Structure 1
Amino acid sequence: MKNNFLRFVLFLFTVTAFAQSNKVSVVSNEEGMKLVVNGKDFMINGMNWDYIPIGTNTVNANFWKKSDDVIKAALDTEMSLLKNMNVNVIRQYTGIPSKWIKYIYENYGIYTMLNHSFGRYGLTLDGVWTPVTIYSEPRTQEFLIAEMEQLVKDYKDTPGLLLYLLGNENNYGLFWAGAETEDFPDSDEEKKFIGEKRGRPMYKLMNEAAKKMKAMDTSHPVAICNGDVLFIDIVAEECKDVDIYGVNSYRGSSFTDMFEVVKQKLNKPIMFTEFGADAFNEIEKKKINFLKHIIW
């Protein structure tokens, strides 16, 4: 009876410990910088993940509004595949109920990097859709800071939450409206103008958000997602309270001088939020037909 009681107490302790929110921090010492989760070094083996059933898109999928049975069946299928791939982190946009972050973590050991677009694709202010986010505008600043504070309130105690991620290459979005990627201006002067006029207020606001979020939640770091190293000098000046520099990088077969530039300019840990080669076949010198490759 005594042994059974001890086993029961140990089981309860284990379950309780696993259900608690995680302590995540960025540690910097003579060996360099690393992510530490619950006292153990942690290497992110992650991927961007979303669930969009056939016949729907990112706008109308409404996956998290489905019944619990539908969501659970989808997660069990997807997360078991990711676990077999040794994925330990998924990047998800806000909107996922906290109970499913917990479910994914407790059943598959996969953490969630919670991503808020931070006005990347426009905002609805006072009931009016604004396609281009003006980060220097007081209404926009108030709105985004309030959203970040609410985000922390809603998720900070969620088991399986790894960190908060602000934006998705928002620096690229300063040059155009919407999600479509277009050519950058050729003029360095024009880039510099955009960086100062629109970029600096954005990075300053991101840093302000990071400070407020970290004051509310001391257990989870705050990262930003930048498009490569564009405007990194402004990031260095304005984002001193951001913990991790996330980048979407499509340089091809090598990151070239990425690590050296980030080390020299920021001295912050770098996290690849997206990476790969673009839709161009360097060997054949022509654009890749992705549809053909997917079908065949």
Structure 2
Amino acid sequence: MQKNTCPLAIILASLVLSSVASGVVYYTYCETKFSAEIIEKTVVTVDGRRLLVNGSPFTVKGVCYSPTPPGEGPDFFWWHAQEIYENDFENIRSMGANTIRTYNAGVTYFNDAYYWVYHDDGIPLDSYLWTWQGGGGSFTETYEITPPEGTKSFKTVSANWAGWGIFLANPSAHTINLSGATALKFWVKTTANLKVEIEAPQGNTQTKYISNYGWDGTNNWQEITIPASHWSNLNQVYCPFKITMETSGTFYIDKVRWTGFSPYSDGGIPGGVKILTWGDGYFEARYTGFGPGNVPEGGRCFLTQPSGSYAGWGLFLALPHDHTVDLSGASALKFWVKTPVNLKIEIEAPKGNIQSYYISQFGWDGTNNWQEITIPAENWENLDKVYSPFMITVETNQTFYVDFVRWENFVPPPQHAILENRDILDAAWSQRLYVIMGYWVDRSVDMSKSWVRENLKEGFLKLVNKWKDHPAVLMWAFGNEVDVYPARKENWFSLVQAVAFAAKQVDNNHPVMTVNQDITRIGDPSIGSADENLTSLDIWGVNVYYGSSFGNLFSNYKVKSSKPLLLAEWGCDALDARDNTENQLMQKLYIENLWDEISENLSAENENRVCIGGTVFEWSDEWWKAGNYEIHDNLATWANPNYYDYVAGQNNMNEEWWGIMKLTSLESPVKIPRLAYYALKEKWT
């Protein structure tokens, strides 16, 4: 949408209106200019199973909104992509929709990884995974149970005894310095006490047992923490993790890491952090040209190859929104560098306040060899509010390499990233679209811990307090499919109740919802999900993929809860997995029928019905989900027999093809409506 420069009269009117006390001033878009108007905040309430907006029954006709363009991944700054969301909102409104569902208007980050040993992305490149067993055993990565992190865990079946470990032996034996870490942490699900070991240095094995570090003897997922102070020789670790069952049985391991704060390593970058580059040149964040064993940590480093007079890169706490991290407990910033010239090192603390040094001030000897640079924490200011924990620049055209960037001897407290810029809500309201404000919850954290619960609640309340008076807000949604983690159900639902209750104390004008995977775990008093357990929760949201019909969903739900039900995700992908061809017609037919069934169960039409509407999954295709951001992959990643293209023993759900809008190409990513878009438009207008 084009926006011309505002006339002076409109600007002056805005200044005058901002002092009016009878309402809140919001700026809304029209076809040719910005305008300002006084708008009372929207009051949204629940009456029985009905949703009321300013006193009138309301049906949610919406889309799940994550508009990642081709070539971008899950860390895309869509909240800052004004041209994208303004055009989208206009098209969403044109189809008759009235709501968008967001997933991460707020999020709490628990960034504690210093050195990853085992997680969904694998093991360090310079390591091997070796196993041992007596009398028989099996070792597999498995998707058969829901793990704390990602989608898979490592399963070991022992006949008499069996175990495995990670050894830094690729291409030859070497060690890593983990003396700056705070603890070894991992998740375990086991029928028996397990032996945990490290080898530091090679040949010197140190042994612990999980029963001494919090394992309660039950076969549930539990996080084990062994403080770094309980190990010795951490400056020369050859094996950072070994685990053995000394009896028969089965155990699972997941999310093994040494904790601390590492802005850049082989394990990636922390959640909520974005890599940005500047200057002309070539940048490769996971450069492998040296090979395993020839870089200080793992098998990758960061390559910067300028083509002009300068180039650099840095890490910024900007996802999904700008925020800061408290590094005041750290002892030093450390990193490895290989460079023929002096480099400038900077941090930004707080945002807008850049502090600079050069590596020559901290031990660089002028040679183009790998060297570790240490900048003590006392050399920096404002470490309690760091926006960029690391920036590095070459001021010539020389190539340089960086590896293993970390802040030593501390784990940062959780960080809250919430929407701070009102533009997106104003843009939605200009099209009279309501927004479901989702707060993302990390499903891998231990929700039995009081500090985890308090930090999640604190972050959610920051979001509520910030935007409770904006007229575009329809409701708050705390968490998405957190209920699928069996070992944490009770702690999760009690947290939902606590958070919803706290939200009511500051905002009684918008309902609070949580979104489950299906209705299976709704209405169960044994896990705290019955109505009497969740008196402050207003609405249940569910993500359901039953195929072309919801079947008995609505009648089954009705006996589980008296709360309104929102179909938060539903739909059909547009790719036929049998021959990998686009099938818009089948997507259209499925979505048409599903909306018809929703319509037949709308409480706005009959207060005895259970449903307040739905947000179709999803607005536009996301090319990043299969791993290659620049290709529209046809890889099916999970199986669902409820859909027409299911073949026994084969996956048929294509995560990159769910949009009712298709993306044309990497070079020119225009969005084109699929048949399902027009089908919904016919029903919603």
Q: Same fold (TM over 0.5)?
A: yes
Q: 1:78-227 alignment to 2 at 5 Å?
A: 78-92=88-102, 93-94=104-105, 95-97=418-420, 99-120=422-443, 132-172=444-484, 174=485, 194=486, 197-227=487-517
User: How many angstroms does 1:281 deviate by?
Assistant: 7.6
User: How many angstroms does 1:158 deviate by?
Assistant: 1.4
Please tell me the residue identity of whatever aligns with 2:436: M
Structure 2 residue aligned with 1:252, among 543, 547, 553?
547
Q: In structure 2, what is the equivalent of residue 128 of structure 1?
A: none
Please tell me the residue identity of whatever aligns with 2:513: A
Structure 1 residue aligned with 2:47, among 27, 38, 60?
27
- Residues 244-293 of structure 1, C-alpha deviation per residue, up to 9 Å, x if partnerless? 01000111122222222222121111001001357558555424474799
The answer to which of 100-109 and 149-158 deviates more is 100-109
- Residues 109-129 of structure 1, C-alpha deviation per residue, up to 9 Å, x if partnerless? 101000012223xxxxxxxxx
Q: Which has the larger radius of gyration?
A: 2
Please tell me the residue identity of whatever aligns with 2:90: S
Structure 2 residue aligned with 1:40, among 51, 56, 60?
56
CA contact (8 A) 1:164 1:220 kept: yes
User: How many angstroms does 1:102 deviate by?
Assistant: 3.2
DSSP-derived class of the 1:167 partner: strand
Q: In structure 1, what is the equivalent of residue 78 of structure 2?
A: 63
CA distance in 1, matches of 2:512, 2:442: 17
DSSP-derived class of the 2:445 partner: coil
User: How many angstroms does 1:144 deviate by?
Assistant: 0.9
- Residues 79-108 of structure 1, C-alpha deviation per residue, up to 9 Å, x if partnerless? 111011111100112144451343233311
CA contact (8 A) 2:50 2:57 kept: yes
CA contact (8 A) 1:171 1:230 kept: no
Please tell me the residue identity of whatever aligns with 1:109: R
Q: In structure 2, what is the equivalent of residue 75 of structure 1?
A: 85
CA distance in 2, matches of 1:231, 1:270: 14
Q: Per the alignment, do residues 270 and 292 of structure 1 end up closer, same or farther by CA in structure 2, a change over 3 Å counting?
A: closer
User: How many angstroms does 1:201 deviate by?
Assistant: 0.9
1:276 matched to 2:571: yes
CA distance in 2, matches of 1:292, 1:161: 29
Please tell me the residue identity of whatever aligns with 1:252: G
Unaligned runs of 5+ in 2: 1-19, 26-36, 106-417, 573-638, 665-685
CA distance in 2, matches of 1:288, 1:146: 40
Q: Per the alignment, do residues 24 and 52 of structure 1 end up closer, same or farther by CA in structure 2, a change over 3 Å counting?
A: same
CA distance in 2, matches of 1:55, 1:292: 15
Q: Per the alignment, do residues 284 and 49 of structure 1 end up closer, same or farther by CA in structure 2, a change over 3 Å counting?
A: closer
Please tell me the residue identity of whatever aligns with 1:50: S
User: How many angstroms does 1:225 deviate by?
Assistant: 0.2
CA contact (8 A) 2:646 2:652 kept: no
User: How many angstroms does 1:72 deviate by?
Assistant: 3.1
User: How many angstroms does 1:137 deviate by?
Assistant: 0.9
- Residues 107-158 of structure 1, C-alpha deviation per residue, up to 9 Å, x if partnerless? 11101000012223xxxxxxxxxxx211111111111111122111111111
Please tell me the residue identity of whatever aligns with 1:72: Q
Please tell me the residue identity of whatever aligns with 1:227: Q
CA distance in 2, matches of 1:284, 1:219: 44
- Residues 3-38 of structure 1, C-alpha deviation per residue, up to 9 Å, x if partnerless? xxxxxxxxx99996763220000112xxxx211111
Please tell me the residue identity of whatever aligns with 1:272: L
DSSP-derived class of the 2:559 partner: helix
Q: Per the alignment, do residues 53 and 159 of structure 1 end up closer, same or farther by CA in structure 2, a change over 3 Å counting?
A: same
DSSP-derived class of the 2:42 partner: coil
DSSP-derived class of the 1:36 partner: strand
CA distance in 2, matches of 1:102, 1:292: 27
Q: How many residues align?
A: 244
CA contact (8 A) 1:98 1:155 kept: no
CA distance in 2, matches of 1:110, 1:96: 17
More strand by share: 2
User: How many angstroms does 1:57 deviate by?
Assistant: 1.0
Please tell me the residue identity of whatever aligns with 2:490: R
Q: In structure 1, what is the equivalent of residue 120 of structure 2?
A: none
DSSP-derived class of the 2:475 partner: strand
CA distance in 2, matches of 1:230, 1:114: 24
More helix by share: 1
Q: In structure 2, what is the equivalent of residue 191 of structure 1?
A: none
CA contact (8 A) 2:82 2:424 kept: no
CA distance in 2, matches of 1:289, 1:229: 21
User: How many angstroms does 1:168 deviate by?
Assistant: 0.8
- Residues 140-191 of structure 1, C-alpha deviation per residue, up to 9 Å, x if partnerless? 111111112211111111120000001111112x1xxxxxxxxxxxxxxxxx
CA contact (8 A) 1:18 1:106 kept: no
Q: Per the alignment, do residues 85 and 265 of structure 1 end up closer, same or farther by CA in structure 2, a change over 3 Å counting?
A: same
Q: Per the alignment, do residues 169 and 160 of structure 1 end up closer, same or farther by CA in structure 2, a change over 3 Å counting?
A: same
DSSP-derived class of the 1:104 partner: helix
CA distance in 2, matches of 1:37, 1:23: 6
1:240 matched to 2:563: no
- Residues 212-242 of structure 1, C-alpha deviation per residue, up to 9 Å, x if partnerless? 0011101100001001023221311532220
CA contact (8 A) 1:101 1:111 kept: no
Q: Per the alignment, do residues 119 and 238 of structure 1 end up closer, same or farther by CA in structure 2, a change over 3 Å counting?
A: farther
CA distance in 1, matches of 2:643, 2:41: 46
CA contact (8 A) 2:464 2:507 kept: yes
CA distance in 2, matches of 1:171, 1:112: 23
Q: Per the alignment, do residues 288 and 112 of structure 1 end up closer, same or farther by CA in structure 2, a change over 3 Å counting?
A: same
User: How many angstroms does 1:53 deviate by?
Assistant: 2.6
CA contact (8 A) 1:19 1:106 kept: no
Q: Per the alignment, do residues 18 and 108 of structure 1 end up closer, same or farther by CA in structure 2, a change over 3 Å counting?
A: farther
CA distance in 2, matches of 1:215, 1:273: 25
CA RMSD of aligned residues (A): 3.0
CA distance in 1, matches of 2:77, 2:435: 19
